[in-house]
Structure 1
Amino acid sequence: MKIKILFAAVMLLLATVSIEAQQITVGTFNIRYDNPRDTGNLWVNRAPIVSNLIRFHGFDVLGVQEALQNQVDDISTALPEYAHYGKGRDDGKDAGEHSVIFYKKDRFKLLKSGDFWLSETPDKPGKGWDATCCNRICSWVYLEDLKTKKQFYAFNVHYDHQAVVARKESSKLMLSKIKEIANGSPVLLTGDLNGGRDSEWYQTLATSGVLTDSYMQVKFPYANNSSANGFRTPRGKGVIDHIFVTKQFTAKKWGILTDTYYGKFPSDHFPVLAEVELR
């Protein structure tokens, strides 16, 4: 009887450890908007490649930037195992690019969600600060792991590509909104910051005491290329696509996925993947 009790206790302990050690595979991927001028790299040809890539690498949570509504629909149709959230940046509905978040249906339950714009008036669509080109939006979700019952926020954002003041102010806004919305809960932040690790707006996040770049937690990051490629062989190792975490997460792996097909690229950015554990 004692042996049976001991065996049961050991099995329960192992099951508990297994649950606690479950990892989350998180990614950020600028998929390049559906631009009819991208001759040789049209979305109609890239769409199945992008979906296959997402499926193969098994992202649990994936922040996607530049997705127009038809691109969101294409990925969703190809990958029914994922749910998603994110509104269009131009009208808060479907219009314009989305900073959409995909997450696995069989692993997570959506508890809350929302969006805000990178501007002085974040509650409504509009350009911010010195931006002249585009509205910029951040979408977020509050997820519960169905197995562990642990809960966390995921934010996904795309900074302006031209306006310097807007990028600086966007990082300040991101920190303010993360504190306001998450209120100390665990947070993942994915995004294309249009700036490397030496940029002021990256440094604002990375040295905030609120967020840490998951890259910095990994002993052997897989960083053989830049994260942007422009649909051609990249040169240099600059990274503008980032995955940040709060103190409740520990990153175990980090890498730039340089998948290609017949010499072509799924996007003008490579996806970035991190495996993290929520303590």
Structure 2
Amino acid sequence: MKKVSLLTIAFFCLAIVQGQSFIVGSFNLRYDNPRDSGNLWVNRAPIVASLIRFHDFDVLGTQEGLRNQLDDIKRTLPEYAFFGAGREDGQAKGEHSAIFYKTAKFNLLKSGNFWLSSTPEKPGPGWDARLNRICSWVQLQDKRSKKKFYFFNVHYDHQGVEARRESSLLILKKIKEIAGNDPVVFTGDLNGSHESEWYKSLEGSGWLKDTYKQVAHPYANNGSFNSFGASLQKTEIIDHIFVTAPFKAQKWGVLSDHYHGKFPSDHYPILAVISL
């Protein structure tokens, strides 16, 4: 009886530990562009959904997805829900920075959006940005452990240098304002490598930590942008996953999945295994 009890306790403790580990990621889906001949969304959609399911993301920040793309993923993967608003109107119009999460694993407690501009409470471009840019966030609670954390997801402007610099400063301010001292995961396509000023603002903040730098052996055999195969020689990581304490990463990798010589998106997804 004593042995059985000890084994039961051991398995219970192991289950608790496993419940604190999450597979998180960031994935620029490439918007549904009818000019992407040979890489149309109608052909990529089932591949993207299959990739998400196979790699078993618990929470995934996506960029560029239009509402029809997000609905396609949700329809194929009913085990997930998503939150996010269109950057053009705060409703459904335009690209989203949507967050997918497993409904069997998490309760959604809070959610919101803000724009990367000097007036973050309303739609509009910021600084020298060419386009509206939005950050979406959720507060999730792990159903097993009852632990809570925030997840922020964003897509920085691709042309405005000042906008990218200012976006990082705004992100730091808004995360502290919204999440306070609670644990945070921050994902996104920053359109900037580890050498960019806006990346360094985040990494040098003293409390946001890049999961890439937390692991001993990041799986970075490719850069994170492939341009549907046209930029395979690039090595820069422009998609990122940051965390605050007490999160800690055990694994990090660029997922260079492809199918029949084609690519699910013009970005590779990145994945991190983190523990809380």
Q: Which interval holds the TM-score relative to the shorter structure?
A: over 0.9
SS at match of 2:125: coil
Give every structure 1 segment of 4 or more consecutive aligned residues whose post-TM-superposition deviation is greater than 4 Å: none
Once the 2 structures are TM-superposed, how far is the Cα of residue 265 of structure 1 from its aligned partner? 0.4
Partner of 2:158: 161
Alignment match, 1:111: 109
Question: What is the TM-score when the length of structure 1 is the normalising length?
Answer: 0.96
Amino acid at match of 1:154: F
1:187-266 pair list within 5 angstroms: 187-232=184-229, 234-266=232-264
Q: Which of residues 121, 143, 147 in structure 1 aligns to 2:144?
A: 147
Corresponding letter in the other structure for 1:263: G
State the match for 2:61 in structure 1: 63
Q: CA deviation at 1:17?
A: 3.7
Distance 2:222 2:17 in 1: 33
Deviations 1:196-234 (A, max 9, x none): 000000000001012000000111111000100000151
Gaps of 5+ in 1: none
Q: Which residue of 1 aligns with 2:24?
A: 26
Aligned partners of 2:225 and 2:234 also within 8 Å: no
Partner of 2:99: 101
Q: Give the superposition deviation at 1:9.
A: 4.8
2: CA distance between counterparts of 1:205 and 1:20? 29
Partner of 1:83: 81
Quote how far apart the aligned CAs of 1:247 are: 1.4
Q: Which letter maps to 1:244?
A: F
**1:33-59 superposed Cα distances (whole Å, 9 cap, x missing partner):** 000110110001100100000000000
- Residue deviations 1:61-110, cap 9 Å, x none? 00000000100110010100001100000000000000000000100000
Does the 8 Å CA contact 1:49/1:266 hold for their aligned counterparts? yes
Contact 1:117 1:124 in 2 (8 A): yes
**1:13 Cα offset (Å):** 4.4
Partner Cα distance (1:119, 1:147) in 2: 38
| Contact 1:27/1:243 (<8 A) preserved | yes
| Distance of 1:269 and 1:153 partners within structure 2 | 24
Aligned amino acid, residue 185 of structure 1: D
The aligned counterpart of 2:176 is 179
Which digits, 9 at most, give the CA deviation of each residue in 1:115-145, with x for residues without a partner?
A: 00000000000000111x2100000000000
Kindly indicate whether residue 167 of structure 2 is the aligned counterpart of residue 170 of structure 1: yes
Q: What percent of counterpart residues are identical?
A: 61
- Does 2:266 correspond to 1:268? yes
For 1:215 and 1:14, the matched residues in 2 are separated by 31
Mapped contact 1:20–1:148 kept (Cα < 8 A) = no
Q: How many residues align?
A: 274
Q: Which amino acid aligns with 2:150?
A: Y
What 5-or-longer segments of structure 2 have no aligned partner? none
Instruction: Tell me, yes or no, if the aligned pair for 1:212 and 1:245 is still in contact at 8 Å.
Output: yes
